[in-house]
Chains A and B, each alone.
Chain A
Amino acid sequence: MHRRSAAISAMCVVTALSIGACTGSKAGVGDAASTGSTAGDAKLGGTLTVAMQAPAVGVNPATVNGAFGNYTALDYDTLLRADYQGKISAGLASAWAMSDNNQTLTLTLRSGVTFSDGSAVDAAAVKKSLDYMRANSSVASLYTDITSVDVVDASHVTVKTSQPDSQLPTAMAGLLGEVISPKGVDGIKGLTVDAPSAGAGAYVLDPKASLSGDHYTYTLNPSYYDKSRQHWKKIVLKVVTDPQAAVNALSTGQVQQATGDFTTAKQAAGAGLQIAYKPTIWFGFNLIDRGGEVSKPLGDARVRQAINYAIDRATLEKATLGDYGAVTDQPSAKGDNGYSEAAATRYPYDPAKAKALLAQAGYADGFDLPVLSVHFEGLDQLTEAVKAMLDPIGIHLKPNYVSDEQSYAGGSTDRKWPVVAVGYGSQPMDQMAKGLFLPTAKAFNGFGTVSPELQRYFDASLTATTDADRNAQYVKMEDWVVENAWFAPVMDVPVFSYAAKNLGGVENPDGSPDGNALDWYQTTAS
């Protein structure tokens, strides 16, 4: 059950914990030491033990599940870094610059840096890693617009795209930019928990002190260039799939940080732990048959809007999440760069208006609407509750419940179900557009709906030269999907981070969880 929970969180946790709003930078240079944590001159701690919700699927950037990025973030440094607001700074590349047409990114590599296997982090190595990642990794499909990676000289690499892509620097701060050594790329299948890592990160995986599926031990990389990111002699990622067990382990001091959920939040607060949370995973319905292919009524935007008007979000949110959640009718969470203040009040609870819209669309007598739902994370209960709310206006939901994530994933794309109950973590809009509603979003845009307007806004965001212009396009996209009711979000479910009192850096300045273990340091708090 918990593995299933983790699976749906997969798309959520990564976004909530690793990257907040995103502000790409046209060019920059930076001193890595100044971009590290706020730990100041805190002394090196002993062992940091972090509870992980799921075992590592892979322990190299090409196969790791991005939702559990710490499995590779510790030992595979990125070319650039992004803070919680998406602000870019130097990483293995000490400087970067985008061309005027936003189609070429030039990276200047830090000199004298080596991988943990001893080889040099030079342009040839970076090219090899990027070429492998964009062709073969689990994130390859997100970067099909990259046409070439070229070595300029030993310390300069250019990345070219087929269309303007101002978010390329952000990509270099994510999984794509986690550099694997040439030897590692050549023997990628051997990069398991039984072998030392092949990155240039602050730590290295210690196979002798690790057990696949149970714990993964990382020790200091003595040759790492940025000592300000090394706060611990050893970091252990301990798999604790049961949320209750994680809170118990935190209470007894066996682990110092864990990801939580609203079912254990009160207990964690009672145990005197630090709690950071941000409502960020929207739960609701993906109205994917926007062309009316298998459910003709759903092809009419007024019908989809009626669904949104008929849901009493406040009641559902209060009953489910209490004080920790928030109602929502849009995919972006408040604070993220696609969030629209205007869209936030677009669909107040108004059953009368919903009925009127249905009548205008020619469905005054109502209709049956099949929906794919799933028995985890409470999506089945949400489906039943919304079913009861839609019945009075004449829309009769016919849920089909599956109990495993794979049937659910398959059903989302087999063009059989016009509506799918979902939980989706809010992301920076450049990622969410590609992952949720543009034609590239194969898993969540199951009927492959294309909107010229959305594509135009997205293209405009890629050529935008300022953050303000880019964000304006993002909000236009958000307004458009809300106005056309491509989704029926109900509530934003929070992602929690629980931490021991004496762990610093677990919370961003805006109160949201900072999920990067490299940012956490020991304090004297008790």
Chain B
Amino acid sequence: MEEKTIRKDNLMSLLADLTGSCQVLAPVRKGNSIVFEEILTGDEIHLSEYNTRKSVKEVFFPQRERLFAYRGQETREPSPPDKERIVFGVRPCDARSLSLLDFVFDGEDFKDPYYCSKRDNTTVIAIGCSRPMRTCFCTDTGGDPFSLEGADVLLIDMGETYFVLPVTQRGEGFLQGKSGFERAEQDQIQRKEEIIEKARESVGSDLNIERIKSVLDSDFDNPLWETVHEKCLGCGVCTFLCPTCHCFDILDEGDSNQGERIRIWDSCMFPLFTLHASGTNPRPGGKERMRQRILHKFKYFVDNHNRVACTGCGRCIRACPVNLDIREVLEDIQNPE
């Protein structure tokens, strides 16, 4: 597909124009954090080195989602979204997380209508990371600061302009008939390569995902689990901010006459997560819960989908109240003493 460029101010006006016919979501500043919200003007968009506080997953898989409402004998399902949506300013780690969530909610065996309807009506415009942060480790998890995966269009920040790579047919469609896009010149293509190369060099550590997987395969009772969870408080920060964590709970709220069935985010770190009606809990403590979180991401998801369920976005590292750094946990697994 043809590589293009667009002046940043032209793109902002384009997005502002599109707010008439589409719902446009973009990172906006709210208090001290940056969140994905619907915008009405280009001025609201806030792009920075810092990623959004919460990941893009809530745009497709909200923390609280009504599955249906009931009153008496009648039930009412939410109507499918009527407007096309554009999510602008998604980081490649978050865009990649969507392709991982697709395995779960849009897989061969099962299609979740709530998720799929949102995915189907949304164009994802990602912006590559020219300056990855020190908590970024996307390259260790199979990603890249300029990964195309999960994005419909990838932009690369060139200063005054964005380099534009249409990734999917939907992305091609987004560019079609819109003014401001110009064919990329040879020198721009070269400069883009330099930016990509420089960013790639600055990210990553010595994690070896294959090696970690093989240790996890062979050693469920690794003594490491006894100690590695010890400082964990058992809160849900890591799983709720994680772009790939997708466990949920389904609850009925209301009474026998009226109410609703909702789906909410759940967390394997919570004591209620696997509590059985009998009172038994196969994961009674921090050790078993931490093991589950790591195994789900770096073993079970790999077994099921041949991919690790981590995009190296670093949110869990930055936000953990006790600085429990998942990279250190993985290093300990990889290099047993």
A and B: interacting chains: no
Which B residues fall within an 8 A CB radius of A?
none
Which A residues fall within an 8 A CB radius of B?
none
